[in-house]
Amino acid sequence: MSLPDVAAQTEGGAAKLSQIISDTVSRTHLVRDTAAGKITEIQKITGALRMLALNALIESARAGDHGRGFSVVAAEVREIANKVELISEQLRAELATQIDDLGNATASMADAAVGSRLVDLALNAIEIIDRNLYERTCDVRWWATDSAIVDCAANPTDQSCAWASKRLGVILGAYTVYLDLWLCDLEGRVIANGRPERYSVKGLNVAREPWFAGAAALSSGDDFSVADISTCNALGNSQVATYAASVREGGESNGRPRGVLAIHFDWAPQARTIVRGARLDAEEWQHTTVVLVDAKRRIIASSNDSHSLADTFSLETGGRTSGYYVAADQSTVAFHATPGYETYKGLGWYGVIKRKP
């Protein structure tokens, strides 16, 4: 069973539990109203009994000695009516308190069920992106060992660069999630890319890019570097997630560094698909926003297109990796930190679900 399928079952169970609790809340209110109505009827009856007892006492007084026995019965009826009235009042008070307590407890359970479901949705979103990006780390390390890439990095002639570009183009034809693949020398100069007809980046110096600096410092071909989501001017101002690995002599993990391979993941459309794929019904989507935030709390993906990379989310985790809370605007905010996937530990990101009241 795939990870999304497991998440779907979890979310389905949470949604069902939430509905059951919601139904229980409604039934609790119905029981409270029914009990109050029945107690009112009892009080009406006891009121009628007291009135009958009073009339009986009046008639017995008129009957004199012949009505004394009847007056005793009338007095007993009135006493019983008074006791029933007292019991009904006590019952009303006790039932009201207990039903209110039950209602509050059930409502709290309903809120917890909703919160838990939203946390599950947040986890699902961040798990999917983690799994996706784990595959990106595998891609860059694998392709960095391609003979065309290794040969070009070791000896960047016009012929080897052209062949490397062609090889990178073939890879791009099979992997539609990438904007471009760049092969750089050790000084940070791009010497080949997979889409030269679209992105004229050959000769571009990227030595100051965080992903290049990270890759240049790697101790092994088994490692990789990654930068925060950013807008890349050289790729048409697209948002990218860039992963890089060192290209090493002979394609060996412990070989001498010869260059850096960078793969630019087309972030925005892929991330948008994930946040918009949350399992919410049409009514829920009207007041729910799904976002991904990075370690700096920047909004790096949102089901609401009005957000940009310049926007941040005020996330109150309280040091927890997952949970939910009610924000100042009374919205319910659920979150889950990146759990990582396989050897990919994640970048401190969070999946976040915000639901307005």
CA distance 241 to 225: 11
Q: What angle do CA 315, 321, 325 make, to 5 degrees?
A: 45
The model's pLDDT over 313-329, given as tens digits with 9 standing for 90+, comes to 999 999 999 999 999 99
% of the chain residues with pLDDT over 70: 87
Distance in angstroms (rounded) separating the CA atoms of residues 150 and 53: 108
| pLDDT attached to residue 195 | 97
Whether the predicted pLDDT of 6 surpasses 60: no
CATH entry 3.40.50.2300 includes domain 3-120: no
Q: Give pLDDT tens digits for 104-148.
A: 776 677 777 788 889 999 999 999 999 999 999 999 999 999 999
Using CA atoms, how far apart are residues 293 and 265, in angstroms rounded to an integer? 17
Burial of 62 (0-12, 13-18, 19+ CB in 10 A): exposed
**Under 8 Å between Cβ of 125 and 292:** yes
Cα separation, 355 vs 21, in Å, equals: 19
* Count of Cβ atoms closer than 10 Å to residue 26 Cβ: 12
**pTM metric for this prediction:** 0.74
Q: Do domains 144-270 and 278-355 have the same CATH topology?
A: yes
Q: pLDDT tier at 303 (50, 70, 90 boundaries)? A: very high
pLDDT at 17: 55
Cα dihedral across residues 6, 11, 12, 16: positive or negative: positive
pLDDT per residue as tens digits for the range 61-74: 777 766 666 667 66
Binned at pLDDT 50, 70 and 90, residue 47 comes out as confident
CATH number for domain 278-355, candidates 3.30.420, 1.10.10, 3.30.450, 2.60.120: 3.30.450
pLDDT of 12 strictly over 60: no
Residue, of 64 and 190, whose pLDDT is higher: 190
Task: Report d(CA 290, CA 353) in Å as an integer.
Answer: 5
Considering the segment(s) 144-270 as one domain, its CATH architecture is 2-Layer Sandwich (3.30)
What is the structure's pLDDT at 76?
A: 73
DSSP SS3 for 342: coil
Q: What is the pLDDT of residues 23-42, one digit of tens each?
A: 766 777 777 777 777 777 77
Return the domain boundaries, the chain. Answer: 3-120, 144-270, 278-355
Euclidean distance between CA atoms 110 and 116, whole angstroms:
10
Residue 34 has what pLDDT?
74
> In a 10 Å sphere around its CB, with 0-12 CB exposed, 13-18 middle and 19+ buried, how is residue 83 labelled?
exposed
